[in-house]
Amino acid sequence: MNPTSDIHIGISSCLMGEPVRYDGGHRKHDDIVNVLGQRVTFVPVCPEFEVGMGVPRETLRLIGDPEAPRLVTTETGIDHTDRMLTFARERVRQLEAMDLSGYIFKSRSPSCGVERVEVVSEGGSRSGRGLFARVLMEHLPGMPVAEERHLSDPALLENFLARVLHFHRNKR
């Protein structure tokens, strides 16, 4: 019996190899899936797909104020902000009920990026956070989160797992 198998970690579905990206592709991250997947239970989430945007879909971007950006399609300018925020609040409550102990986000995503997500405004581009990531991190502020790009380094991956285990033990 794996002693950490009762630990649940949320993860962007595309990192698990699910073809949910805007172009129908995925960004499977073998190190995360193979190393952590033997020690924890993943809970895959794709906010854009789950909110009903479909695959394939028009690309999205964040515009406006980096502290309160709007989520719009790049070609047609359709604003999905309110729908995404409503979805995110409900989905985060569901994830909280699943007793998550960590979350791995897809970097640079307008819904899932934790840092350095481009936010376009009249004054140029600035850095922000994806809408779903923002809601989750505000609702569960102490839970360990990471972007997949930081977990390619084995030492950082082990450090993330150690933070997850510590969080899991101490929330009881």
Q: What is the pLDDT of residues 1-60, one digit of tens each?
A: 345 568 999 999 999 999 999 999 999 999 899 989 888 999 999 999 999 999 999 999
- pLDDT at 122 (0 to 100): 84
> Tens digit of pLDDT for each residue in 108-159?
999 999 999 999 988 889 999 999 999 999 999 999 999 999 998 989 999 9
Domain boundaries, the chain: 8-56+81-114+129-170
**Residue 104, both tokens:** 């791995």
pTM of the entire predicted model: 0.94
Average confidence (pLDDT) over 89-105: 97
Q: How far apart are the first and last CA of the chain?
A: 21
